[in-house]
């Protein structure tokens, strides 16, 4: 983690404040670089993270490869590479990182974030300078913004169950976008994009695509492996994580450990598939039980979040698995990014269906979808009734949202009913969809699927990556080879017809590419669920979960917080209980928001180690 400020007048305020809020041991073990114009503190000072006083660069994360370099390059080498190549140099780096450089002779600050956005980077600009950090929590504490909440971001979070925008939950603090750099000089800051993805459908041959995918995956896994330490992997039993485990095994990774969770219930338990993979490659396999009582971990879990994100199958599961992996491994590989590489999300199939349905006249569709919305919910994860209801609810969201309309949980009218009048009136509703629509409009793609994938790399991928912030809090180093920028670049050229064959055969080309690497049961399964837990059923049937949610969303807590209307929440709980609607995602997002905000105001007071 690094944090700092630039601007001589600003430093007079920041310097004493920084030493006041950093925990003593962290301050003692870290390094401070200071001049009349800049101050940067880093929690680590090894050669991979700090370039030294003569080459002041601070890197949070990992650099795996640099074009033209056969061996790993340290921080000082990155500094020298930038001095020689300037902004074009960042295009040559393959890594998961954020960085801050100070060019003394030019009094110039450079802040940069990796191409995909695995690393995090935040800034706050003032009239007298700029404050920045690779940790949102650290920056909020330094600036004392714990209570300065951005209500527009709250609306965006409730709408999507995460925050896809550049504005954070705290007024005045923004996140640097992936593949962007921010340059501060002469009292002014500007941002610049140094890399982008382009979906162009130029690779149409199946054999060529499959061969290059295998080669790219092998390289992406290999460059992320370390010679020292213990290696583990999250293993779901799907194509993505299973492929990563197979390649780690192929590389003769010693004592490879794998971690999966088991959630008992019809159409929810995927652990048998994970066991098949673990047995095939002889890993030290651990299965973590995900029970209704696991939901109670939410309070501890939100203490590790920099911003709230809500998906009970992802956030609680990640917390459980990371807790189990803690002390057992150092490097933790995942299959994150596979759904975007090879178009695996069900929403891409929904897009195809919507394109056909759009040819039906509106006067026929509206009453049909009106009936679809009235369907009662099912106890199963995926059945025809659930799909029809969700499709009917989402079809008439703004088409400008593209694929994201299947991920929206409130209309603007419904949102105005759920939040308090004060919150809604002080927010800017136009900002809810703005960032997503802007990304869609500038998508570099030849067809609709390419536009969706482009947009997802800028939004949904960032959502999934934030669970890795929790993983890092346990002292684990997450490795995501399927987010390797070289692999992403190649796969962006693969024809959309090879990613989704026909109407619904998703990940077709990935299956072909890894067919010989994995057991038949994995490559030919059709029931991948994707981090699924029966939360909607637990909310209706399990007294422990019901009591927990009722306590967090009690009238007293909701009214004290002043964000949402208690009567509207109570109505949702009743409708969910009666299976009129599946409100589990909406209610869970409110639980996470309440717990996270409570944690911010109680515990965000010192900059400590796990940031």
Specify the pLDDT at position 1: 93
Confidence grade of residue 522 (pLDDT, cut at 50, 70, 90): very high
Specify the pLDDT at position 434: 94
- What pLDDT, in 10s, does the model give residues 558-600? 999 999 999 999 999 999 999 988 999 999 999 999 999 999 9
The Cα 28–Cα 398 span in angstroms is 53
Residue range(s) of every CATH 3.60.20.10 domain in the chain? 2-149+164-193
Residue 94 CA, distance from chain mean position: 19
Question: Residue 409 pLDDT > 70, yes or no?
Answer: yes
Confidence grade of residue 340 (pLDDT, cut at 50, 70, 90): very high
Structure tokens at 564: 């949402």
Residue range(s) of every CATH 3.40.50.620 domain in the chain? 206-340+465-521
Specify the pLDDT at position 592: 97
Specify the pLDDT at position 388: 73
pLDDT, mean of residues 88-112:
96
How far is CA 403 from each of CA 201, 368, 406, 451, 535, rounded to the nearest angstrom? 19, 21, 6, 9, 24
Structure tokens at 253: 């990774």
Specify the pLDDT at position 195: 97
Structure tokens at 231: 């290696």
The Cα 3–Cα 21 span in angstroms is 12
Which runs of E-coded beta strand occur in 147-302?
174-175, 180-185, 188-193, 231-234, 257-262, 284-289
- What pLDDT, in 10s, does the model give residues 450-469? 999 999 999 999 988 988 98
Specify the pLDDT at position 19: 84
pTM of the complete model beyond 0.85: yes
The Cα 369–Cα 349 span in angstroms is 18
Question: Residue 266 pLDDT > 70, yes or no?
Answer: no
pLDDT, mean of residues 519-532:
79
- What is 495-532 written as a DSSP string? -HHHHEETTTEETHHHHHHHTTTS-HHHHT-----SS-
- Sign of the Cα torsion 358, 363, 366, 368 reads negative
pLDDT, mean of residues 75-92:
94
Closest CA to 59 of 45, 38, 39, 80: 45
Yes or no: say if 484 and 216 are a contact pair by the CB < 8 Å rule: yes
Question: Residue 611 pLDDT > 60, yes or no?
Answer: no
- 318 vs 70, which has greater pLDDT? 318
Yes or no: say if 243 and 233 are a contact pair by the CB < 8 Å rule: no
Question: Residue 204 pLDDT > 60, yes or no?
Answer: yes
Specify the pLDDT at position 444: 95
Specify the pLDDT at position 528: 62
Question: Which residues are within 8 A (CB) of 36 and not within 5 positions of it... i.e. 6 or more apart?
Answer: 8, 11
- What pLDDT, in 10s, does the model give residues 158-191? 999 999 999 999 999 999 999 999 999 988 999 9
Confidence grade of residue 383 (pLDDT, cut at 50, 70, 90): low
- What pLDDT, in 10s, does the model give residues 356-382? 888 888 778 777 777 666 666 666 656
Confidence grade of residue 319 (pLDDT, cut at 50, 70, 90): very high
The Cα 195–Cα 89 span in angstroms is 11
Half-sphere exposure (Cβ direction) of 532: Cα atoms closer than 13 Å: 20
Q: How does the average pLDDT of the chain come out, rounded?
A: 92
Q: What letter does residue 1 receive in the DSSP assignment?
A: -
Question: Residue 38 pLDDT > 70, yes or no?
Answer: yes
Q: Say which CATH architecture domain 206-340+465-521 belongs to.
A: 3-Layer(aba) Sandwich (3.40)
Enter the CATH code of domain 2-149+164-193: 3.60.20.10
Confidence grade of residue 499 (pLDDT, cut at 50, 70, 90): very high
Yes or no: say if 532 and 381 are a contact pair by the CB < 8 Å rule: yes
Question: Residue 610 pLDDT > 80, yes or no?
Answer: no
Question: Which residues are within 8 A (CB) of 445 and not within 5 positions of it... i.e. 6 or more apart?
Answer: 198, 199, 200, 451, 453, 454
Burial 265-297 (b: 16+ CB within 10 A, else e): beebbbbebbbbbbebbebebbbbebbbebbee
Question: Which residues are within 8 A (CB) of 142 and not within 5 positions of it... i.e. 6 or more apart?
Answer: 3, 14, 17, 18, 21, 131, 133, 607
Q: How do 57-66 and 93-103 pair as beta strands?
A: antiparallel
The percentage of the chain sitting over the pLDDT mark of 70, rounded to a whole number, equals 95
Closest CA to 131 of 20, 40, 25: 40
CB-CB neighbours of 247 under 10 Å: 23
Closest CA to 598 of 154, 147, 169: 147
């Amino acid at each position: 983690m690094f944090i700092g400020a630039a601007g001589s007048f600003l430093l007079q305020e920041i310097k004493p404040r920084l030493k006041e809020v950093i925990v003593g041991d962290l301050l003692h073990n870290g390094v401070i670089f200071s001049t009349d114009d800049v101050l940067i503190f880093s929690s680590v000072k090894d050669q991979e993270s700090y370039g030294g006083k003569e080459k002041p660069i601070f890197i949070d994360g990992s650099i795996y490869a640099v074009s033209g370099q056969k061996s790993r390059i340290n921080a000082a080498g990155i500094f020298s590479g930038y001095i020689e190549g300037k902004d074009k140099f960042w295009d040559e780096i393959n890594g998961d990182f954020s960085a801050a450089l100070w060019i003394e002779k030019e009094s110039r600050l450079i802040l940069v974030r990796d191409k995909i956005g695995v690393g995090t980077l935040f800034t706050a600009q003032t009239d007298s300078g700029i404050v920045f950090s690779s940790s949102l929590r650290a920056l909020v504490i330094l600036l004392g913004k714990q209570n300065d909440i951005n209500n527009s971001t709250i609306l965006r979070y409730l709408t999507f169950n995460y925050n896809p925008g550049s504005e954070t939950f705290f007024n005045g603090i923004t996140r640097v976008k992936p593949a962007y750099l921010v340059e501060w000089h002469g009292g002014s800051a500007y941002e610049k994009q140094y890399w982008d993805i382009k979906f162009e459908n130029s690779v149409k041959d199946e054999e060529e695509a499959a061969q290059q995918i295998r080669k790219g995956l092998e390289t992406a896994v290999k460059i992320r492996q370390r010679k020292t330490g213990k290696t583990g992997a999250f293993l779901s039993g799907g194509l993505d994580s299973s492929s990563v485990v197979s390649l780690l095994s192929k590389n003769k990774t010693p004592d490879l450990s794998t971690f999966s969770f088991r959630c008992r219930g019809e159409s929810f338990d995927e652990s048998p598939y994970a066991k098949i993979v673990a047995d095939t490659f002889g890993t030290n396999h651990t299965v973590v039980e995900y029970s209704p009582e696991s939901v109670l971990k939410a309070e501890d879990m939100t203490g590790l979040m920099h911003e709230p994100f809500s998906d009970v199958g992802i956030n609680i599961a990640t917390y459980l698995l990371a807790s189990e992996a803690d002390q057992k491994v150092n490097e933790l590989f995942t299959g994150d990014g596979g759904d975007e590489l090879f178009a695996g999300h069900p929403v891409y199939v929904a897009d195809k269906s919507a394109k056909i349905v759009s040819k039906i006249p509106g006067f026929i569709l509206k009453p049909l979808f009106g009936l679809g919305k009235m369907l009662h919910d099912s106890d199963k994860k995926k059945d025809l009734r659930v799909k029809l209801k969700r499709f009917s609810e989402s079809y008439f969201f703004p088409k400008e949202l593209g694929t994201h309309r299947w991920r929206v949980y409130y209309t603007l009218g419904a949102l105005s009913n759920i939040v308090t009048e004060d919150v809604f009136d002080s927010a800017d509703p136009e900002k809810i969809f703005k960032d997503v629509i802007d990304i869609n409009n500038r998508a570099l793609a030849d067809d609709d699927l390419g536009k969706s994938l482009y947009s997802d790399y800028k939004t949904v991928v960032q959502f999934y990556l934030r669970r890795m912030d929790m993983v890092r809090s346990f002292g684990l180093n997450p490795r995501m080879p399927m987010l390797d920028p070289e692999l992403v670049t190649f796969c962006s050229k693969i024809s959309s017809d090879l990613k989704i064959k026909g109407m619904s055969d998703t990940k077709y080309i990935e299956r072909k590419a890894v067919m010989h690497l994995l057991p038949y049961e994995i490559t030919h399964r059709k029931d991948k669920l994707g981090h699924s837990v029966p939360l909607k059923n637990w909310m209706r049937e399990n007294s422990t979960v019901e009591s927990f949610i009722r306590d967090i969303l009690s009238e007293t807590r909701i009214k004290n917080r002043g964000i949402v209307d208690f009567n509207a929440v109570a109505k949702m709980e009743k409708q969910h209980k009666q299976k009129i609607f599946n409100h589990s995602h909406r209610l869970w997002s409110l639980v996470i928001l309440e717990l996270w905000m409570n944690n911010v105001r109680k515990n965000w007071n010192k900059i400590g180690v796990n940031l």
